[in-house]
Amino acid sequence: MNTNGANTASKLSFKDKVALVTGAGSGLGLAAAQAFAASGASVVLADWNEESVISAAEELTAQGHKALAIRCDVADDAQVEAMVAQTVATFGRLDAAYNNAGVQNVLAETADSPRDDYDRVMSINLRGVWSCMKFELQQMRKQGSGAIVNCSSLGGLVGGAERGTYHAAKHGVLGLTKSAALEYAARGIRINAICPGLFWTPMADQMVASGQGEALDAMLKMIPMGRHGRVEEIADAVLFLCSEAASYVTGQSISVDGGFVMR
């Protein structure tokens, strides 16, 4: 009897595992948190928006899953350290982390880019990922196991007019990912990144509200698959990279973009 299907399913299971997701109150983070829960994990949902993350965790709990909501601003090292400590205090360990929290920059040419906006974007999109990895890895190093997925972007692979601050941060995420992956490759810990393309999330709504609707429409026309991504398609990629099915994958950046970067 062919058992390959059963073996693959078991490799994608997160039964008795603990997963942490930042930016989990909506969009890509929420979809990933829901997918981890559906795959058997105890899930910690972290977000600066306390109301949204509590609501999301309560919904998962009502469905019979183990879920914990934590308010966390990833730009604050103390809050990140406390988030990881509370995860371990509640569930005993940390097996998977998806560092997803991020923000867009104020549209401006480089010569006109506000310093305070640069600091804001970098503190969340780059330093926030660094901080999350720092404290997640301290726990995973003790365990001798774990998997981390950092959220970069197509903006981590290409440039974008008036979006240099955002793209610089997302490029930086890939450098952090590769460097940390090298450090822990022989110690049972894998670290990868995903580069989402065009997904319709609350962040996309904010981009439209800020006047970037035409740019998004133009980008859609450049996607070979001819459509927006579905949030569950990011969740699938995150769970794969955190699972035993990806046991020989580390230091990679995977584009989930409908083929955009093929051009």
Amino acid symbol at 72: C
CA 193 and chain centroid, separation: 8
Q: What are phi and psi of 158, to 5 degrees?
A: -130, 170
Phi-psi region of 114 (alpha: psi -120 to 50; beta: other; left: phi over 0): beta
Structure tokens at 71: 């308010």
Quote the DSSP letter at residue 107. Answer: P
**Active-site pick, 118, 166, 184, 248:** 166
Mapping DSSP to helix (H, G, I), strand (E, B) and coil, where does residue 234 land?
helix
Query: Is 118 labeled as catalytic in the residue annotation?
Result: no
Q: Find all residues with CB under 8 Å of 49, minimum gap 6, and list them.
A: 25, 26, 71
Active site positions, annotated: 166
